[in-house]
Amino acid sequence: MNDLTEKPWSGRFQEPTDAFVEAFTASVGFDRRLYRQDIQGSIAHAKMLARQGILTEAECESIVAGLQRIQGRIETGDFSWSIPLEDVHMNIEAALIQDIGEAGKKLHTGRSRNDQVATDVRLYLREEIDQLQTALQRLQTVLLDLAEREAETLMPGFTHLQVAQPVSFGHHLMAWFEMLARDRARLRDCRRRVNQMPLGAAALAGTTYPIDRTYTAQLLGFEAPMENSLDAVSDRDFLIEFCAAASILMMHLSRFSEELILWSSAQFGFVQLSDRFCTGSSIMPQKKNPDVPELIRGKTGRIFGHLMALLTLMKAQPLAYNKDNQEDKEPLFDTLDNLKGALKVFADMLAQLRPDRAKMKAAARQGFPTATDLADYLVRKGVPFRDAHAIVGRAVARALEQGCDLSELSLETLRGFSPVIEEDVFSILTLEGALAARDHLGGTAPRQVRAAIRRARAALENARDS
C-alpha cells in the first residue's frame, strides 16, 4: 500500500511516508462522513469548469457519472477507504481516476483540498442545522401540547429553590419554549454565515483559470462566494459559532433535565417519567432512575468541551490554511451526534411525561406562596408597600406558630395585624386567586398562558413556512 505513486502529491518526494505518520495524519477514518458533500462539491466544480471551457462537455459528463457511481458504491458499502490516501477527498479522486481514467485527472483543476474541505464542511453543517431545526420544532410542539393541557395546573414557583409564588405549570413549561425559540434563532442566524462558499479560493490565493465562482455558488445553493480567498480557506469561525449555539442549547436542555430529575424524585413527586426512559439499580430493587435527563446533563460537558477545543484550535494559526484545521471535524461531528440524540430523546420523554397535579398543588400550598398577594391587597387599601411587607411578615410568623396557612388564619387574627383587612381578603389568599391575579402579558394567569400558547403556535407555524 505504501506506494509513492499512489499519492497525488508524491512527485517531489524521494522517500515514502513513515508508516506511523501516515496513520497519524490520515483523516479518512472520520472525514469519510463528508463523502456526499465532497461529491456534490466536485460535481458543481466540474460543471463550472465545463461551462467556462476549462473542461470539455464530454469530460464533465464522464466526471459527473463517475462521481455518481462512486457515491452509489459508498452507499452500498462497496468502497474500500485507503489510509495512505489520507482523506475523503483523495480517496474519492483516486477512485474516480481509476474508474474513468484521464478525465478524472482533470477534476482538481483550479481547486485545492483547502477550499474543497472548507466547502464540504459548510455544506454538511448547513444540512445538519436544517435537521436540528426540525428536531427543535418537534420538541417545541411537544412542549406546547403539554403546556396547553397544564395551563390551569398550580405548582409552586421557586426562587433559590424555595417556594416563592404559585405559577401555572403551563407557564413554567412555556419558559422552556421561549429558551428553545431563542436557540432556534441563534441557529438560523449562524446558518447565514455557514452558507457562504469558499470554493475558488484554491490553496489560498485563488487560481489562474477563468473560473466563475458565482455559478458554482448557485449550483451548491450558497448565498454567495466568499470575498477573500485567504479567509475562505483558513477561518473556522462558523464552526465555533455553531458550537457556541449548540452549547447554549445544551445548557438549556441540561437545566431542564435538572428540573425533571428533581421533580421526579419522591421528595417532589411533581411528575413521573415513563419507565421507558428510566433504568433500575442492580442492587436496590426499588429504584427507578432518571437516566435520560441525567445523561443529557452529563453530555452537556463534552459539548462545552468541543467549543473550547475549536476556539483553541484557531487561536494561534497564522493565515492561511494549516493542517491544524483537520482537527475541526471530530468536535463538530460529536457535537452534532449528541445534540441530535439529546433533542430526540428529550422530545420523546416529554411527550410521555405524567404530571401529578395533586402533588404540585399540595406543594404550592406550603411556604406561604400568597404572602405577596396579601401585601398587594394591603397596598390596594392604601397601606404603603414597605409597611404592608412588614405586616404580612408578622402574619406569616403567626401562621408558622399555629402551623397553618395564611388563608387559615381567622379574619379577627388578620385584622389584628391591620384593620384595613376585610372578609374579601380570603379570595386573594387562595392559590387560584393568586394565579388569576397576575393577568398581564407575560404573567402566569391561565388566561395569559393560553394566549401565550396561541401566539407561540402561530409563530411556530410561520417558522415552518419560512
Interface residue with ligand ARG, options 7, 17, 27, 434 (CB under 6 A)? 27
CA nearest neighbour of 115 among 14, 255, 252, 213: 213
Marked catalytic residue, from 160, 282, 410, 466: 160
Residue 217 and residue 223: Cα distance in Å, rounded? 7
Query: In the complex with ligand ARG, which residue's Cβ is closer, 87 or 405?
Result: 87
Min dist CB 112 to ligand ARG, Å, is 7
Task: Examine residue 135 and say whether the peptide bond preceding it is cis (omega within 30 degrees of 0).
Answer: no
Closer residue to ligand ARG (CB): 38 or 241 = 38
CA distance 222 to 215: 10
354 contributes a contact to ligand ARG by CB under 6 A: no
Contact 17, 2 (CB under 8 A): yes
From residue 111 to residue 150, the character string flagging contacts with ligand ARG as x (rule: CB under 6 A) and all else as - is --xx--x---------------------------------
Cβ(349)–Cβ(292) under 8 Å?
A: yes
Q: Which of residues 31-50 bind ligand ARG (CB under 6 A)?
A: 31
Closest contact distance (angstroms) between CB of 7 and ligand ARG is 11
Give the separation between CA 35 and CA 28, rounded to whole angstroms: 10
Please state, in angstroms and as integers, the Cα–Cα distance from residue 197 to each residue in 185, 255, 380, following that order: 22, 36, 63
Q: Helix 35-51 crosses helix 213-220 at what angle (to 10 degrees)?
A: 140
The CB-of-83 to ligand ARG minimum distance in angstroms stands at: 12
Q: Does 87 bind ligand ARG (CB under 6 A)?
A: yes
Nearest Cα to Cα of residue 183 among 251, 244, 249, 250: 249
Asked if 207 touches ligand ARG (CB under 6 A), the answer is no
Stretch that binds ligand ARG, among 127-135, 318-326, 359-367, 418-426 (CB under 6 A): 318-326
Cell output for 296: 443529557
User: Smallest distance from the beta carbon of 217 to ligand ARG, in angstroms?
Assistant: 20
Q: What value, to the nearest 5°, has the Cα angle with vertex 201 and ends 195 and 207?
A: 145
Active site residue 160: yes
Shortest distance, position 20 Cβ to ligand ARG, whole Å:
18
* Residue 117 parent element (H or E): helix 113-149
Q: How far is the CB of 70 from ligand ARG (least distance, A)?
A: 18
Of 326, 335, 418, 444, which one interacts with ligand ARG (CB under 6 A)? 326
Q: Which of 40, 119, 325, 407 binds ligand ARG (CB under 6 A)?
A: 325
Catalytic residue among 171, 257, 281, 389: 281
Q: Which is nearer to ligand ARG, 310 or 436 (CB)?
A: 310
In the residue annotation, 281 being an active-site residue is answered as: yes
Task: Report how many residues bind ligand ARG under the rule CB under 6 A.
Answer: 9
| Cβ atoms of 92 and 104 closer than 8 Å | no
Q: Per the structure block, which three cell numbers stand in for 336? A: 452534532
Q: What amino acid positions are annotated as catalytic residues?
A: 160, 281
Binding site for ligand ARG (CB under 6 A): 27, 31, 87, 113-114, 117, 323, 325-326
